A = this chain, B = another copy of it.
Amino acid sequence: MKFLDLDFEERNQYIKNKYGRRVFFAGNKHGVITLVEHIKKNSKPNPELLVPVEGVWGIQFAYKYQVKIKYMIVCTEEMNSNESIMLLETLMDDDSELRAYLVSKKVFNKVSEKANSAGILALCKFPKRDLEDLNVDKNALVVILDGLEILGNVGTIVRSADGTDVSAVIITNKKTRLIHPKFIKSSQGSCFKVPIVEADFKDVHQWLVKNDFRIILTDTRSSLNYYEESYEGRVAIVMGSERYGISKDWYDTDYAGIKIPMFGDCDSLNVGIATTVILYEATLKKKKMLTRFI
């Protein structure tokens, strides 16, 4: 029997037969549907930090990084490839606590944001860490995002942080809500891999001092160019908000400043771009790859 040859009622029956009491039918007003709606609108507390992840690609990412998936919402009518049923079976086989909710196309479209989510939506526990969870080696590089206002910028930076092997992204003066499908999309799933911490300035500063980090603020008014910095030892690069830059708190610390020189007329770069330019410089030096220039 090929799953894709079945009609949607037969598909539902197949899943129900295979996973029995862990499979439910859910209508328009079922608790799991209203839960997704509340999470998306941020209209109720979300203590478990559940976040909806749609489609094969995103859910595979969550699975790869061992993110806990609590519920699957499944629309068999929308399952148009073997990948999505195979992924569902892998997840259900792998975690005996996982429950699946079968829904109609109409109900699925109520909770789904993507056209190509292949009939599967996972409610995952967002893996947010505390400062004390971070495992930093003696050459660690962390990025601190202070008061960033645009979620897409935070997501892009997390993707770049993955690409440059950064130990953690720490958010201070938080202005964005990470529990949002846009964050997963803009980070291209890297948000499940790179450790992310949201914390107060004071706690972050204490943690940095305790762990012997050098604090480097990126500020167009600094005299040192980013490529003149050695980035040796434990380093925390602080990036400021799109509109206001880095908050005063950080200027009261014992810091060094760096800048990216601007050779044209525009006075700054997009914060995601500026962060990545610096992260590559820092990472290549930390990995001793930039000593090639003599």
Chain A interface residues toward B at CB < 8 A: 156, 159-165, 188-190, 193-194, 225, 227-228, 260-266, 269-270, 272-273, 276-277, 280, 283-284, 287, 289-294
Contact = CB atoms under 8 A, between A and B. Distances in A.
A258 to B, nearest CB: 13
A273 B228 contact: no
Contact of A269 (B163, B227, B290, B293): B163
Please name the 10 residue pairs, one residue from A and one from B, whose CB atoms are nearest each other, closest first: A162-B264, A165-B263, A273-B276, A293-B293, A162-B266, A163-B262, A163-B264, A190-B266, A277-B280, A273-B273
A194 B266 CA distance: 11
A273 to B, nearest CB: 5
Contact of A276 (B193, B261, B263, B277): B277
In this complex, the member of A164, A277, A292 whose beta carbon has the largest number of chain B beta carbons within 10 angstroms is A277
21 contacts: A156-B270, A159-B269, A160-B269, A160-B270, A160-B273, A161-B264, A162-B264, A162-B266, A163-B260, A164-B264, A189-B266, A190-B265, A190-B266, A193-B264, A225-B289, A227-B293, A269-B276, A273-B273, A273-B276, A277-B277, A291-B293
In this complex, the member of A188, A264, A284, A292 whose beta carbon has the largest number of chain B beta carbons within 10 angstroms is A264
Contact of A289 (B156, B164, B227, B292): B227
A193 B225 CA distance: 25
Contacts of A265: 162, 190, 193
A193 B265 CA distance: 8
A262 B160 CA distance: 9
Given A162-B265, A227-B289, A284-B227, A156 B273 contact: yes
Nearest to A270: B156
B270 A159 contact: yes
A266 B266 CA distance: 30
